[in-house]
Structures are given as C-alpha cells and as structure tokens.
Amino acid sequence: MKLNTLVITTILTSLVSAAAFSQAKLSTNIPHLEKRGTATQLIVDGKPFLVIGAELNNSSASSVEYMQPLWPKIAATNLNTVLATVSWELTEPEEGRFDFNLVDSLIQGARRQNLHLILLWFGSWKNGKSTYQPVWVKTNQQRFPIIQDEKGKGLPTLSTLSDANRDADARAFAALMRHIRAADGEAHTVIMIQVENEVGVLGPSRDHSPLANQAFAGPVPKEFMNYLQMHKDTLIPELRKRWESAGFKTSGSWEEVFGAGMATDELFMAWNYARYVGHVAAAGKAEYPLPMFVNAWLRQGPDKPNEDKPGGYPSGGPLAQVMDAWRAGGPAIDILSPDVHVPNYADWCTWYTQSGNPLFIPESRGDARGVAQAIATAGKYDGIGYSPFGIDRLANPDGELAKGYQVLAQVAPLILERQGLGKMTAVLVDKETPRSKVRLGDYTIEARFAARAQDPNAPVAPPVDRVASLFIQLGPDDYVIVGRSMGVYFETAADPTQSVGLAVVEEGQYVDGRWVPGRRLNGDETPEWKALWFQGDRYTIQKIKLYRYH
Ligand code: DGJ
C-alpha cells in the first residue's frame, strides 16, 4: 500500500470509528422505553420518567409570540412536559425546503422553564382529515390521491394506499427527526413523538377508491396472516372471535377471512393506516429513534350509536379492537394511545393495556377528575404518563391541575421505583362506585368516597365527583397513601382473626425525594382511631405504620 493511500485509509478508519463512537454514545443515552417487571417505562437521561404533562391547543405552537407569555404559566402549573404540534405545512412550505425555526423556538422555550417536550407530527392526517399537509400537496391530487366514499366522491383525506403520499410525508418527518437529533441529541428536551393525529376514515367505514376496492377484494397480506397465526392465542378477543367465526382461514380476501361488515372494513383500514404510519415512523427512527406513539379518537359508546361505529369515529385508527393490525403493520410504533374524552376512563385503560401495550394518555381532562385519572394512570396501570388537552386554558398556578400535579410530582419517584413490581396500586371512587377495596401486601385497603368532609372542623372543600387514592407500599406494615375527599380503611388480608390499628400516621410532603413530616395525625383526624381521613380542597399525602392485634 502506498504511503498516501495508507494515510487516507487511516484517516477514514478513524473518522468512521469516531462517527460510530458518537452514534453509540448518542444511542445509549437517548430517551427510550425499557421493560421493568410487568411495566414499560420511559427512560430519560438514564432514569425512569413519569410524564406529568398537558397538550397545547392545535395552533398555539405556530406562533413564537403567542407562546411567550404562556411558557411561565405552564411551568407554574407544575407540569414537567408539554405536548406541542409540529405541522408538515409549516415545516416544508415548499417541496424540499425545510424550516425548523418553530421547532427550535419550542425547544428553547421549554428548556428555559425546565420542561420536556413531546412533539406531535401533524402530517398526512389530523382527526381523520388531511388539513395539515402543505399547499403543494393539498392542491395536487393527481400526485397525492385522496380517498373516496361509496359513490366515488372524494373526501378531504389523503389515501393510505399511495406510495407518493407516504413517501412525501416520510421524507418530511425524517428531516424533522434529523433536525431534532442535531438540535437536541445531547440535551433531551424532546422525549417522545406522536406520529400523525387521530387517523382513520370519517364518514364511510372504509376507502372506496378503485385502488382501495382492489386491495379489499385481493388477498389479506401475507405479513398480516403470518402475524395472526403466530399470535393466535394472544390476539385481542374481538379479532380472534371474528377470525374464528369465519373458520380461521389462513388465506383469502378480507371478507373471506374475517366475514363481511363494518368491523372488517375497519380492520382493513387499520392495516393500511398502520403500514403507512409505521413506514413514516420507521423513516424518522432511522434518523433519531425516540419512542413513538399514535393516538386514537375513541368509539363513543352505545348512548351515541352514530359515533360508536366505524366511520362515526375514524375507521382504522389505533383502537383497542384492531390493535393487532397496528402491531403487525407498524412495528416501529411503540405505543397505541387512547385520547380519553369519554367518561368510562378505567375501561379504556384496561383495553389499552392488553397485549403488553404501555399506557400513555396524550389527551383527556384537566379538571379534578383529570387529576384523579392522572394518579390512577401512573399508580394502577403503570402508565408512562398523562396529559389533559388544552393547557392554554388550564394553565393556572391555583387551579385543580396545578394542585394535583404538585402532589403527583412529589410521589413520582416512589411510583417509578415500584411500577411493574406489585408494590403499589390505586383506585378511582365516585358517586356511582363510592367504595373500592384492593389488596396490597398483607393488607386489604378500602377507599370510601366522601363528597363532603365528615369532620365539622375540616376546611370546606369544593365538591368533586371522582377522586383517586394511591397506595404505595414501603415495607410490610408501612405505606404512603395519597388521597382526597375520602376515608381509607384497613383489614388484614393474611389473618382474619386479627384487627388492624394505626401505629403512626403523619401527613407531610416529599421535598426533593425526602419525607418532611407535618402534623402527627390522631384523635378526630383518624376517625374511630382506625381510618385515615383525607379532607380539604386538595390531594394530601399520609405516611403510616400499621400494627395488628387480637
Ligand atoms: C382531539 C384532537 O386530537 C385534538 O387535536 C383536538 O382537536 C381535540 N380533539 C379538541 O378537543
């Protein structure tokens, strides 16, 4: 080898290994998901992280001026994370010309307040429609086709079956992720990404364009059939039943394999959305592999029949009943998330923790009920976090959200240490279900909802209609309990001949992870000398030691 060839080879080798080294350094450190016992946690800078978040209104992040006065108000509401829109139209106003000024200003704004960001990629779809794609995409339907209804009428929704649509979106998303890596690959202000927003077909239960009709009449793709066969025993029950009723066929058209009807239309759309969104997510991850999730507009329940069927809600979105199609079609997507704007919160948490899906709630309520839901998400369902919609309106240092989040933030380290290990749980109680019993360690713990304080000396609290109680086990007889508007009672689970007494009850706070006791509670504050009372206008924390007697 000539000397100059050797020199060039050596330089190239060291450049390549320097790049590989920095890549390795970056990739071990970047926010990622990690399994812990039965839970999946979000790891940020090497530590589990609980998202105590809220989402901005859709258009807020499009203006630096609008955001400026809002940032300090958001921080004063005791959040640690803001969910903010990044739109394709403002990111790529002309094809191939990217503008990341708004993304940079979001990152700067969040960093100044010590907040993290979850960016929401409003690309091809938002709430079942296509309104955030750039004008050069919107106005060129020849190149970027839209879906059609049964009568062949075009709908304002990009087709899932077009490679041109998919590739244009994926190119822009990849450019965004490349930019986030360059701007934030060390600091990790941005911790997760939502890919698209509430996708699915609104109106008909599936796309009826000629391309879609052809795919629907054609065979169910091999990849999906293989997935179904490999996961036959763990499929979501609705899907398994449908496949079983049609004879567990291993090939055939969509209607042959799953039977005719709206549910099959929905499954077909779910597969096609998952393929497209999964491809976009994979293109982004190839640049910077942050955890990625998709969110679902949910079916609305039997009281609203028109919004409870595919097409009444976006058909093919990542709903629980079609989870398997999303898992099979979009493996680059880490989490399927429900936007819970319906009352039966606990049901949705149960449905969205099927098949090991980690629970993250990107949209829900931010009132007193919302705080209760945030506590239950983290403490009962081992969730990654919670985010009510509309922090523009909810930001208020004295509001329900700020008061609840302040307490949740105090106990977050205890929660994160115990997720997935069976040493913590939570209950939701309300007027309809005022009592709830759970077992934790050697005790059965019962929360009893008390809309009004029972102690006439207690401060008068505004009425709340649903509250949470969080039970954290510190040792065999030691617990931390978080509650509001309730009494908490104990029995032994191990030996029914024994009674349970309160040895020590302290109320207090965790300051930088250290317990700082306040009042020692006894007498009227522990009714009948055997229960805890949580009264007043906010969640409080009690640290207790129990004992047993015959
Ligand atoms: C659900 C959507 O995902 C959000 O972007 C927003 O439009 C809310 N609905 C409004 O309530």
Pick the residue whose CA is nearest to atom 4 on ligand 1: 58
How many A from CA of 425 to the centre of ligand 1? Answer: 30
Pick the residue whose CA is nearest to atom 6 on ligand 1: 58
Rounded Cα distance between 511 and 425, Å, is 22
Pick the residue whose CA is nearest to atom 8 on ligand 1: 389
> Are 173 and 91 in contact, with CB atoms under 8 Å apart?
no
Pick the residue whose CA is nearest to atom 9 on ligand 1: 127
Rounded Cα distance between 323 and 270, Å, is 8
Q: How many CA atoms within 13 Å lie on the side-chain side of 506?
A: 12
Q: What is the DSSP letter of 54?
A: E
- Residue 43 is predicted with a pLDDT of 98
Question: Which tokens belong to 127?
Answer: 């709430």
Taking residue 307's Cβ as centre, other Cβ atoms within 10 Å add up to: 15
| N-terminal to C-terminal alpha carbon distance within the chain | 89
Pick the residue whose CA is nearest to atom 2 on ligand 1: 127
- Residue 463 is predicted with a pLDDT of 77
Rounded Cα distance between 320 and 313, Å, is 13
| Ligand 1 pocket residue status of 196, Cβ below 6 Å | no
Ligand 1: residue of 87, 197, 392 to mutate (most ligand atoms within 8 A of CB) is 197
| Ligand 1 pocket residue status of 169, Cβ below 6 Å | no
How many A from CA of 197 to the centre of ligand 1? Answer: 9
How many A from CA of 67 to the centre of ligand 1? Answer: 19
- Residue 36 is predicted with a pLDDT of 95
3-state secondary structure of 199: coil
- Residue 24 is predicted with a pLDDT of 42
3-state secondary structure of 475: strand
- Residue 456 is predicted with a pLDDT of 66
* Alpha helices (H) along 45-162: 64-75, 88-91, 101-112, 135-138
Q: Comparing C-alpha atoms, which of 327, 322, 386, 422 is closest to residue 39?
A: 422
* Alpha helices (H) along 218-344: 222-230, 237-245, 254-258, 262-287, 323-329
- Residue 453 is predicted with a pLDDT of 64
> Are 340 and 300 in contact, with CB atoms under 8 Å apart?
no
How many A from CA of 504 to the centre of ligand 1? Answer: 46
Q: State the closest ligand 1 atom to the C-alpha of 198, by its place in the atom list counted from 1.
A: 3
- Residue 2 is predicted with a pLDDT of 41
Pick the residue whose CA is nearest to atom 10 on ligand 1: 389
Give the largest CA-CA distance in the chain: 94
Q: State the closest ligand 1 atom to the C-alpha of 58, by its place in the atom list counted from 1.
A: 5
How many A from CA of 396 to the centre of ligand 1? Answer: 21
Rounded Cα distance between 116 and 384, Å, is 14
Rounded Cα distance between 29 and 550, Å, is 54
Question: Which tokens belong to 422?
Answer: 């069976």
- Three-point CA angle 84, 86, 87, nearest 5°: 135
How many A from CA of 361 to the centre of ligand 1? Answer: 13
Rounded Cα distance between 272 and 261, Å, is 17
How many A from CA of 127 to the centre of ligand 1? Answer: 7
Rounded Cα distance between 296 and 479, Å, is 36
Q: How many CA atoms within 13 Å lie on the side-chain side of 71?
A: 20
Q: Comparing C-alpha atoms, which of 335, 333, 391, 324 is closest to residue 363?
A: 391
- Residue 15 is predicted with a pLDDT of 39
| Ligand 1 pocket residue status of 127, Cβ below 6 Å | yes
Residue type, 425: T
Rounded Cα distance between 124 and 279, Å, is 13
Phi, psi of 60 (to 5 degrees): -60, -45
Do β-strands 486-492 and 532-534 pair in parallel, antiparallel, or remain unpaired?
A: antiparallel
Q: State the closest ligand 1 atom to the C-alpha of 197, by its place in the atom list counted from 1.
A: 3
Pick the residue whose CA is nearest to atom 7 on ligand 1: 58
Ligand 1: residue of 319, 339, 342, 365 to mutate (most ligand atoms within 8 A of CB) is 339
Question: Which tokens belong to 166?
Answer: 């998919």
* Distance, CA of 405 to chain centre: 17
Q: State the closest ligand 1 atom to the C-alpha of 295, by its place in the atom list counted from 1.
A: 3
* Distance, CA of 184 to chain centre: 22
Low-confidence stretches of the chain (pLDDT beneath 50): 1-25
Q: State the closest ligand 1 atom to the C-alpha of 120, by its place in the atom list counted from 1.
A: 5
How many A from CA of 365 to the centre of ligand 1? Answer: 12
How many A from CA of 186 to the centre of ligand 1? Answer: 31
| Ligand 1 pocket residue status of 197, Cβ below 6 Å | yes
Q: What is the DSSP letter of 129?
A: B
- Residue 23 is predicted with a pLDDT of 47
| Ligand 1 pocket residue status of 430, Cβ below 6 Å | no
**Which residues, in sequence order, are bridge partners of residue 253?**
219
| Ligand 1 pocket residue status of 535, Cβ below 6 Å | no
| Ligand 1 pocket residue status of 363, Cβ below 6 Å | yes
How many A from CA of 126 to the centre of ligand 1? Answer: 9
| Ligand 1 pocket residue status of 339, Cβ below 6 Å | yes
pTM for this predicted structure: 0.94
> Are 151 and 120 in contact, with CB atoms under 8 Å apart?
no
60 Rama class: left (phi>0) / alpha (psi -120 to 50) / beta? alpha
